[in-house]
Every structure is written in C-alpha cells, then in structure tokens.
Amino acid sequence: MKIAVIGTGYVGLVSGTCFSETGNEVTCVDVDAKKVEKLNAGEVTIYEPGLEKLFLRNQKDGRLKFTTNLAEAIEDALLIFLALPTPPDEDGSADLRYVLGVAKELGMLMKEGEYKVIVNKSTVPVGTAEKVNATIQEVAASKNLSLTFDVISNPEFLREGVAVDDFMKPDRVIIGTRSQKAIQVMSDLYAPYVRQGNPILFMDERSAELTKYAANSFLAVKISFMNEIAQVCERVGADVDMVRRGIGSDDRIGKRFLFPGIGYGGSCFPKDVQALHKSADDAGYNFRILDAVMEINDEQKQHLIPKVLKYFNNNIKGRRFALWGLSFKPNTDDIREAPALAIIDRLLEAGATVAAFDPEAMKNTRNQIGEKITFSPTQYETLHNADALIIATEWNEFRTPDFNKISSMLKHKAIFDGRNLFDLAQMESLGFHYESVGRKKISIPENKTSKPETV
C-alpha cells in the first residue's frame, strides 16, 4: 500500500518505519526541514531501541522516504496518517491546531476521484475525527470539489523505549470507523502485525478516541495509587516492594505498572490526564480521580527533595549533587515532563549545583536548559566533588554500579534513589545513607557517611 505519514516524531517515525518494514511504500512528511534533511541523510532523529536497523534497511530499499512537501507525499497515497502534536492548551484541553491545520491543507491538496483514508494516530479528544472531516469538506466545498475519503481514528499505544516492539506486535489495534471500505483497508494493513492473534478491535470513532485517553489515564491512576501506598509505607514502616508483590500476584490487579517512584512524566500521561479531565468537565462531569492523580503526581516529583534537605540540615547552598538519569523513563532520549527536570530546578533554586549523566538524553536536556548544570561524559564522572547521588531514571546501567567507586568519590556516602534500584540490605552493609520511595530509610550517622571537607 502507498502510505503518507504526517509528522516524524516518536509516533510518526516509528509508525512510518514499521509500516515500510512489512512492504508498504511510505513517505513521511514534516515541517521541520532540518529534521527531514537528517532523516534523508540516514540519521535517525530519536533514540528508540531497534529503530535504526529497520530505518536504514527500508530507506536503502526505497520503501521509506522523507519530504517537507505534503502534496508530493499524499500523491497516490491510499492512507494518510496524522502523527501530529496535540500539546495541552492553557486550559488543559488538547490543542488541535496542528491536526486541523493539516486537515485544511489536505482539503486543498486532495483530488476528486481518488479515495483516501485519513487516519488519526495523534491522541485527540472525542469528536476530532468529525472535526477533521468537516474541515476537509469545508475546503472542498469552497473549491466546488467532491472528494471521496474517510476520516478514521486509530490511536497509537506504543511506549517510548520499546516502541518498535510495541508497533510490530501490538497488544491490540483500535480502529474507529463505521466505513466498511476503511475497515477493509485497515484490516489488510494491520494483518501482518496481528498474526499471533492479538485483536483488531473495530468500533465507532468516538469510542476509539476515548479509549486512548481512558487507557493512559487508567495507567496514571495505577502509578499514582502506588505512589500513595508508598507514602503510607514510609509513615507506617511497611515496605512497598513487599506490598507490590503481595497485591500484584492477584490476577485482577496484575503485576505490571505497580512500581512507585518520583512520578510519571513524558509527553503523554501528563497531557492526556489533563485533557480527559477537561473533556469530562466540558461534558458536565467532574472527573475527581483525575484531580487527585494530577495533584499526587506533582507532589511525587518533589518526593526526594525534603529527604535531601533534611540530610543536609535544610541547607544545600554550595552543595554539589550527582544526578543519574534525565529522561522521563529509561531507553528513551525524551525529557518532556521528566521528574529529573523538576529536581534540577529545586536544587538550583536552593543554591546547589548539579552534575548529571544520562545515556541518551543529555543532548535534549542541554537544548532545553542550557549549561545550568554540568553534563558529565560518564555516570562516575558526575561524582567528582559531589556531596551526594540522586537517581531519577531507572536505566539498566545504573542498577549494578561500582559501589566502591561511588563510596570513594562522594563526599557523603548518601544516595537518594527515586527508582528503588538497590537492595536495602546491601546498602546497609555497604554503609550508605540510602533513601528510596516507600521503603525503610537506611540511616547511617552523619559522621560515618561524610568525609572531612578538603580545603
């Protein structure tokens, strides 16, 4: 099939590449000319495990192309995927400017007699498929054209960090349309991706649009629930790891997504929770659980700060902190709404300095915050002259570090771990002051964890 994908970010680039992998002819379009130039030169513009190999193979074979020219991309394309940003507007609702802007352009460019399926992959509020349809129809009517097309909803569920796997083997594919013609096209397109029997679920456009928000918001509820349980654990002397295992073995609850931490981030959960709350509000319903989720998550991002302050007698002015992890989760270079950024802000505000390391997200962080912090080439170099170590992202390479090195380099043997990476007994036997989330604090007397200040 000939496919156009509009937007080459995390969703567009992964979708376009994975559609080309099953033999489709894909042209991806972006307004960012620099990005398109890099992609055409064979440079993968995001970090996503497994993507580069597929990208290079399909690009070399001529099935995956990039352009800034929308007209060229949609020419002869049966399918047009919208993978455009839907950032939060000031009131929390999804900003549809990009989606409707492209709909207008499509209305100008589409030709009579060429059937097209316009597929929305962006996360959008209920009713957007109808709005995109109306926008295209309006432009066509102004030009006295009679266009034949369907606008359908196909929300994307890929997770950054495992996006290629998720796309190639999705748990389910959701297709929102009542057009039999579009159902046939989409069934053919997705057949290679659901060979193991995972379902393609067909439904109306509105239900498909809401499904995406419901899924992300439910997951945000699950994380926030565990973050609250962790808060209770710390206050009553229970261990959240034990509680997590205890409840996760119940099939009705499930083992996944029960890990407490320093809050969810990323481009999706924060904005999708807000947008669903706003949509419900607009429809006359106060979605109270989501109010709590947003509040809990904001607080959770600051969870480590009072612990750090308390350890340093409420004064961290002039202190230096090593920070491991900047991305909002491991295996991605995405720092949108990352808890690490909130931690950096608080440390700098209090007069401390920060030396950070992240395997993939340092370039994006530098682009966003400049040289406000030091970027270290390795995780251990962050420890030079650092008073304590803070961990914000659970990259695998942080899980079994050289504790002797950490201990000899840090001024205080103190670790504040927002991702519960280390074993409590091990931390105790190594003599670290160790604080994590929802677990016992390993408290070593200050004179045993600090070294004499060097002059």
Ligand X SMILES: NC(=O)c1ccc[n+]([C@@H]2O[C@H](COP(=O)([O-])OP(=O)(O)OC[C@H]3O[C@@H](n4cnc5c(N)ncnc54)[C@H](O)[C@@H]3O)[C@@H](O)[C@H]2O)c1
Binding site for ligand X (CB under 6 A): 6-12, 29-32, 35, 83-86, 98, 101-102, 122-123, 156, 158, 160, 267-268
CB of 38 to ligand X, least distance (A): 11
Judge whether 327 and 333 are in contact, CB under 8 Å: yes
Return the amino acid letter for 279. Answer: S
- In the complex with ligand X, the residue whose CB is nearer, 98 or 375, is 98
- In the complex with ligand X, the residue whose CB is nearer, 158 or 389, is 158
- In the complex with ligand X, the residue whose CB is nearer, 25 or 32, is 32
CB of 168 to ligand X, least distance (A): 15
28 given a catalytic annotation: no
What CA–CA distances, in Å, run from 146 to 74, 101, 111, 118, 417? 17, 20, 9, 16, 60
CB of 7 to ligand X, least distance (A): 3
Question: Torsion-angle region of residue 314: left (phi > 0), alpha (psi -120 to 50) or beta?
Answer: left
- In the complex with ligand X, the residue whose CB is nearer, 160 or 387, is 160
Question: Which residue has the closest beta carbon to ligand X?
Answer: 9
CB of 107 to ligand X, least distance (A): 14
Closest by CA to 39, choosing from 23, 27, 21, 24, is: 27
Question: Torsion-angle region of residue 200: left (phi > 0), alpha (psi -120 to 50) or beta?
Answer: beta
What CA–CA distances, in Å, run from 400 to 261, 325, 379? 18, 15, 12
CB of 403 to ligand X, least distance (A): 34
- In the complex with ligand X, the residue whose CB is nearer, 159 or 440, is 159
- In the complex with ligand X, the residue whose CB is nearer, 101 or 351, is 101
- In the complex with ligand X, the residue whose CB is nearer, 9 or 401, is 9
**Which among 18, 28, 233, 268 is annotated as catalytic?**
268
| Catalytic site positions | 268
